[in-house]
Amino acid sequence: MSLLENFDKDIITAMKEKNTFELGVLRMTKAAMKQEVIDHKKEMNEELLIDCVTKQIKMRKDSISEYEKAGRSDLVEKNQQEIDILTKYLPEQLTDEEVEKIIDEAFETVKPTSNREMGLIMKEVTPKLKGKTDMKKVSEIIRSKLSNL
């Protein structure tokens, strides 16, 4: 069963079980996918699902950091539960060592000489890492490696 079929099946299951919290999270993600299809004329597929889930998780992580600053532990917990629901629709996450290895391979391929070549390295690693790790962390690693040149 594909990831997209599994996602749709989970929406139906949440409806049958009257799990309104999970159903709300899944419907928000489905709505974001449909909006991407309409706005950017993309095809509804697994790649789009992964992109939308990644964006939804990123939004919630940003919200968590703001709620922590405001001392709203109830909202932090709610957002963390939403992240837990969404995480099961992402591919298996890479370890830090695997991410480092892919970045090192990109450095050997591109052979950057300055910070200005960050875009070339990101272009090289993005197809391999997108959805499999936090891209913000990837860009930080690349920046630190470029600053050491």
**Domain residue ranges of the chain, discontinuous segments joined by +:** 3-87, 96-147
Residues of the chain under the 50 pLDDT cut: none
Report pLDDT for 75.
94
CB 56 within 8 A of CB 89: no
Helix axes 96-110, 118-129, angle to 10 degrees: 140
Q: What is the DSSP letter of 115?
A: G
Q: What is the DSSP letter of 93?
A: P
pTM, to two decimals: 0.78
CB 43 within 8 A of CB 37: yes
What are φ and ψ of residue 43, in 5° steps? -90, 140
Report pLDDT for 47.
86
86 exposed, middle or buried (CB, 10 Å; 0-12, 13-18, 19+)?
buried
Q: Write the CA distances from 51 to 17, 31, 40, 44, 111, integer angstroms.
A: 27, 13, 13, 11, 29
CATH of 3-87, one of 3.40.50.10320, 3.20.20.210, 1.10.1510.10, 3.30.70.2190: 1.10.1510.10
Q: Which long-range contacts (CB under 8 A, 24 or more apart) does 105-109 make?
A: 107/145
- Tell me the per-residue pLDDT of 87-105, one tens digit each, with 9 for 90 and over: 999 888 888 899 999 999 9
CB 76 within 8 A of CB 68: yes
Which fold would CATH assign to domain 96-147? Arc Repressor Mutant, subunit A (1.10.10)
Task: Please count the CA atoms within 13 angstroms of the CA of 79 that sit on its side-chain side.
Answer: 18
Report pLDDT for 17.
96
